């Protein structure tokens, strides 16, 4: 969880669009795979919130 939190913070700090920018910020202690997994997880969370918000406005 600690690694994920560090990666998530770096993703937000860099704008969350380029894996290479996040990797550069974090350094060698994090793999590209870990960064991509965290980016995918954050994207799924964002989409879930969007769907939930949309549904609440339709009611």
CA distance 51 to 34: 26
pLDDT at 27 over 70: yes
Please tell me the predicted confidence (pLDDT) of residue 20. 96
- What pTM was estimated for this model as a whole? 0.80
Q: Give which of 28, 29, 35 is closest to 7, Cα–Cα.
A: 35
1-23 pLDDT, tens digit per residue, is 899 999 999 999 999 889 999 99
pLDDT of residue 50: 80
Q: How much of the chain, in percent, has pLDDT values that exceed 90?
A: 71
């Amino acid at each position: 969880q600690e690694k994920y939190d560090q990666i998530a913070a770096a993703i937000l700090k860099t704008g969350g669009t380029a894996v290479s920018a996040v990797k550069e910020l974090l350094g060698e202690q994090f793999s590209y795979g870990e960064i991509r997994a965290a980016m995918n997880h954050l994207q799924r969370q964002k989409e879930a919130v969007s769907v939930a918000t949309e549904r609440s406005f339709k009611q």
